[in-house]
Amino acid sequence: MKIWLDEELVEEKDAKISVFDHGLLYGDGVFEGIRFYNNRVFRLEEHIRRLFESARAIVLNLPWTLEQVCQFTVDTIKANGLSDGYVRLVVTRGTGGLGLNPYLCERPSMFIIASTIQLYPKEFYENGLPIITCATRRPAPSALMPQVKSLNYLNNIMAKIEAIQSGAQEAVMLNEQGYVAECTGDNLFLLKNGKLLTPLVSDGALDGVTRRAILELAAQLSIPFEERTLTRYDIYISDECFLTGTAAEVIPVISLDRRPIGDGKVGPLTQRFISAFKELTQTTGTPIE
């Protein structure tokens, strides 16, 4: 496997960073995950723009242009001979001292990994996912801005541990007010009386690229939608539910906290979104060649 590391393509065994890197020491950095399908990178510029925005929000000045990073991403995929898969870009503050002072880091470091991924077992995509509500809350926006895809994902990991220890694959995370934010790594959507609902970004949800694509598809499919504050009650009484994310794509949910959603099966509107999203990913994107 070839890894892009600070403007060089190197073998996996040679892709190394310093033990003094602030990304390792403090989770000081940002990342993006991007899918590519049928020799096309799905919404490449949108993802890279978000990477730059996350970096800007934490005062991390990238020494590359957006166009350069897009090209680095495509080059990494090509170097690994892949036509379908997942690419992860990680930017760290770089090498510095053992203290917190980020201004001692002279230059950011970036690596890019192109590989394959399957977030959930295949049967859950076909039959639906049972999920739970976890006790771990999303950080308040005043503590850590939810729109920053930072390298500090311990909050999400602790929630994922709760889910797995409870026998589930995924968990709903609430904000400090008790409203639905998102799942451990996915955005959440409901369908009620033919209307699509999703939590507000201001309630702690990441403004996901796949989330945006689903809202665009809703308009194309003539399905009304609304972004609004949601509670667990809204999920319990919904007709259908599904999760979205770059790695997860679109995956149906059939129960929350052992309460069946709708009839406990994958719903017809969810199926329409799955099909429409698949068509979108297979026919659009930045060509790899």
**How far apart are the C-alpha atoms of 254 and 170, rounded to whole Å?**
12
**How far apart are the C-alpha atoms of 182 and 255, rounded to whole Å?**
15
In the chain the domains, ranked by start, together with CATH numbers, are 2-115 (3.30.470.10), 122-283 (3.20.10.10)
- 17-38 pLDDT, tens per residue? 999 999 999 999 999 999 999 9
What confidence category does residue 248 fall into, taking pLDDT thresholds of 50, 70 and 90? very high
pLDDT of residue 174: 98
| Beta carbons of 15 and 3 less than 8 angstroms apart | yes
Q: Name the residue among 188, 205, 185 with its Cα closest to residue 196.
A: 188
89 φ/ψ angles, rounded to the nearest 5 degrees: -105, 130
- 145-195 pLDDT, tens per residue? 889 999 999 999 999 999 999 999 999 999 999 999 999 999 999 999 999
| Beta carbons of 270 and 253 less than 8 angstroms apart | no
Say what the alpha-carbon torsion angle 224, 227, 228, 233 is, to the nearest 10 degrees. 70
Sequence letter at residue 20: F
**Is residue 80 scored above 90 in pLDDT?**
yes
**Is residue 70 scored above 90 in pLDDT?**
yes
pLDDT of residue 140: 87
Catalytic residues: 149
> Which whole number is the average pLDDT over 94-100?
96
**How far apart are the C-alpha atoms of 148 and 66, rounded to whole Å?**
17
What confidence category does residue 118 fall into, taking pLDDT thresholds of 50, 70 and 90? confident
- 194-230 pLDDT, tens per residue? 999 999 999 999 999 999 999 999 999 999 999 999 9
Query: What is the chain's mean pLDDT, rounded?
Result: 96
Say what the alpha-carbon torsion angle 255, 136, 93, 102 is, to the nearest 10 degrees. 160
**Is residue 143 scored above 90 in pLDDT?**
no
> Which whole number is the average pLDDT over 112-141?
94
Percent of the chain's residues with pLDDT above 90? 95
pTM above 0.85, yes or no: yes
How far is Cα of residue 201 from the mean position of the Cα atoms in its chain? 14
